Amino acid sequence: MNKRILTAALALALSFSAHSQSISAKAREIHNSALVIDTHADTPQRFLDENYDIGSTDPKDNGHISLDKAKAGNLGAEFFSIWVDPGTNQGHFARHTLDLIDSVYEQAARHPDRMMMAFSVADIERAHREHKLAALLGIEGGHSIENDIRLLRDFYRLGVRYMTLSWSNTNEFADSSGDINNPKVEHHNGLTEGGKQIVLEMNRLGMLVDVSHVADKTFWDTIAVTKAPVIASHSSARALTNHPRNMTDDMLRAVAKNGGVVQVNFYSAFIDETYRKAAEAQSKDRDAAVKAYTDQLKAAGKTVTYLDEDRVEREWAARIPRPPLSSLIDHIDHVAKVAGIDHVGLGSDFDGVSGATPQGIDSAADLPKITQALVDRGYSADDIRKILGGNVLRVFREAERVSHELTK
Ligand SMILES: [Zn+2]
């Protein structure tokens, strides 16, 4: 590294973190020696709806991901979430899925020197060697395939490397934790026979099976049928924060036995019981405010996007005090203890939680603070590197191996 680049890198690191002095030399060294992988960011909503450029250097931008922020946090690979809002895309889920996939490719095309599309473990490692952000695609919600296994294969061919079996909505083949207690929704008691075929086809293709968001019974049905290790791309621990999106200790142990990994979600309502209760208490009024605002837009003939809803959600989220960073670290620690150190990682949910992240975590640039907190709790360098990315890389490699076994 020449001096000019070194100075630029230093300025970049300082510009994002007023607390950079709080990262010790030891933590910095461990963090920078890791291949850091985050398995869930909703930034594609921004790419598509506001034509956000990941190369943005706007200091006022409150988004979690940019190439500069990724560089400052030594983020090596990001799984960009391809999430189709079922409420605003009725009748064209697959088309909107394609539009979102395109939005990620377009970002990579704009910044070929700093970012590349990645479809395999080898690609992630190559991007890391070339100091580029590896961009991967994960579909969040089985409704994207419109109950057509051919579309699943098409999305694989376009580069999609995980699919969350359901989002918050129950779809044709998988029950969701988001509506499992809603009697108006028709449920299947977990995964349908067709859903089991979809899981097996994902195993055959080498697409990671993602159990975040699914109903508990769907989780158990998936664990019983899958031939490859699963991931929970962005899920935290229910024993600490009692949210149905989080995983019970039995589920954590089952993922460990399956060889998979639980990537801990940073969302304040999933990692802090006080915050969760406060968010729940305001949910009725908040939802009404979102509806009033979006109805107003619709009446004016405008198309409502996630960002419109997010604008109102942010105002409400800002009324609740942010939880301490230790709440997030408690979840990582809990999963490491219950499932084991080989089965825990990071699934931030960046750009998908309306700014509701714990104190100190304002963007990908703050990821070294997690490493510092783990050092403070006595985690070894090797264990920290597993959490930061080593574990999910192992699971991805194993899914590739299973795919190879099933197709030869
Ligand atoms: Zn999600």
pLDDT above 90 for 408:
no
Q: What is the mean pLDDT of the chain?
A: 95
pLDDT above 80 for 10:
no
| Three-state SS at 350 | strand
Reported in sequence order, the residue ranges of 275-366 that DSSP labels E, i.e. its strands, are 344-346
Q: How far is the CA of 365 from the centre of ligand 1 (A)?
A: 21
Higher pLDDT among residues 142 and 309, named by residue: 142
Contact by Cβ (8 Å): 38, 349: no
Q: How far is the CA of 139 from the centre of ligand 1 (A)?
A: 10
Q: How far is the CA of 278 from the centre of ligand 1 (A)?
A: 20
pLDDT above 80 for 4:
no
The pLDDT, as a whole number, for residue 306 is: 86
Global pTM reads 0.94
Q: How far is the CA of 168 from the centre of ligand 1 (A)?
A: 8
The pLDDT, as a whole number, for residue 338 is: 98
Q: How far is the CA of 177 from the centre of ligand 1 (A)?
A: 11
Work out the burial of residue 90: count CB atoms within 10 Å of its CB; fewer than 13 is exposed, 13-18 middle, 19 or more buried: exposed
Q: How far is the CA of 407 from the centre of ligand 1 (A)?
A: 31
pLDDT above 60 for 380:
yes
Question: For 145-150, what is the mean pLDDT?
Answer: 98
Residues ≥6 apart with Cβ < 8 Å to 224: none
pLDDT above 60 for 291:
yes
The pLDDT, as a whole number, for residue 281 is: 96
Q: What is the DSSP string of 217-248?
A: HHHHHHHHH-SS--EETT--BTTTS--TTSBP
Q: Distance between CA 404 and CA 111 in Å, rounded?
A: 32
- Cα–Cα separations (whole angstroms), residue 68 to 9, 15, 75, 159: 10, 10, 10, 25
Q: At 282, which amino acid appears?
A: Q
Q: How far is the CA of 165 from the centre of ligand 1 (A)?
A: 11
Q: What pairing do the DSSP bridges indicate for beta strands 133-140 and 75-82? A: parallel
Q: How far is the CA of 19 from the centre of ligand 1 (A)?
A: 29
Q: How far is the CA of 245 from the centre of ligand 1 (A)?
A: 9
Q: How far is the CA of 322 from the centre of ligand 1 (A)?
A: 20
Q: How far is the CA of 6 from the centre of ligand 1 (A)?
A: 37
Question: For 213-219, what is the mean pLDDT?
Answer: 98
Task: Report the candidate in 376, 394, 396, 370 with the shortest Cα–Cα distance to residue 74.
Answer: 370
What is the tens place of the pLDDT at every residue in 91-132?
A: 999 999 999 999 999 999 999 999 999 999 999 999 999 999
| Three-state SS at 62 | coil
The pLDDT, as a whole number, for residue 1 is: 46
Q: Distance between CA 26 and CA 42 in Å, rounded?
A: 31
What is the tens place of the pLDDT at every residue in 168-201?
A: 999 999 999 999 999 999 999 999 999 999 999 9
**Owner of token pair 């051919």:** 150
Question: What percent of the chain has a predicted confidence (pLDDT) above 70?
Answer: 95
Q: How far is the CA of 193 from the centre of ligand 1 (A)?
A: 24
Contact by Cβ (8 Å): 217, 190: yes
Residue 18's pLDDT band (cuts 50, 70, 90): very low
Question: For 24-41, what is the mean pLDDT?
Answer: 98
Task: Report the candidate in 167, 145, 166 with the shortest Cα–Cα distance to residue 156.
Answer: 145
Q: Distance between CA 71 and CA 55 in Å, rounded?
A: 11
Q: How far is the CA of 369 from the centre of ligand 1 (A)?
A: 23
Q: How far is the CA of 247 from the centre of ligand 1 (A)?
A: 14
Q: Distance between CA 276 and CA 254 in Å, rounded?
A: 25
Angle between helices 93-110 and 149-157 (to 10 degrees): 0
pLDDT above 70 for 204:
yes
Q: Distance between CA 266 and CA 350 in Å, rounded?
A: 8
Question: For 139-155, what is the mean pLDDT?
Answer: 98
Q: How far is the CA of 24 from the centre of ligand 1 (A)?
A: 33
Q: Distance between CA 214 and CA 202 in Å, rounded?
A: 16
Looking at residue 390, the DSSP 8-state letter turns out to be I
Q: Distance between CA 226 and CA 243 in Å, rounded?
A: 25
pLDDT above 60 for 15:
no
